[in-house]
Amino acid sequence: MEIYISEEDVLRNIQNKFHEVYPYLKLEFYLCPHDQGKGTANNKKLPADTPIEEIRLIHSFGWIDIGEHRTVAEVERDFYRDMGLAIQVFRRSRNGWLQTTRTDELSLEKQNLLGRESLIAGTEKEAPVQPAD
């Protein structure tokens, strides 16, 4: 699976394309890249309606591979190296969204599954025990 990024894109379009493929993951864009295993401060996050031509360092267009076997670290690196876009992948959890800083080595497929499982675990309630006759 690949995402096409054009010169005219806004961040929201890229976020939506990614989220369609991975419903329990999301992308956030930042002013500068983060080190692997480190988080990014919320005050560096860019608004979703930002045109990419205003923020990226490399002015090219093309495809970014977001295949299920790619790791978060690989995808984050490719966005920055190939497009000049600093991103952070977030995973859904019971309590909101988590930066995947400690699990950057996991594949997108595994991250998405973990997000799905955390929501399912949060909604499951133990069934009441039926009294014996």
Do strands 25-30 and 2-5 pair parallel, antiparallel, or not at all (unpaired)? Answer: unpaired
In a domain, residue 124? The reply is no
Residue 127 located in a structural domain? no
**Number of separate domains in the chain:** 1
In a domain, 89, yes or no: yes
Q: Do the Cβ atoms of 32 and 44 come closer than 8 Å?
A: yes
Please give the share of the chain, as a percent, with pLDDT higher than 70: 83
Residue 128 in domain: no
The reported pTM is 0.81
* Within-domain flag for 126: no
113 is in which domain, residue-wise?
2-118
For the stretch 28-82, pLDDT in tens is 999 866 666 666 667 688 899 999 888 877 777 889 999 999 999 999 999 998 8
Per-residue pLDDT band for 84 (boundaries 50, 70, 90) equals confident
Q: Which of 3, 27, 14 has the alpha carbon at shortest distance from 87?
A: 27
Domain membership of residue 75 (yes or no) is yes
* pLDDT at residue 24 tops 80: yes
Residue 35 within a domain: yes
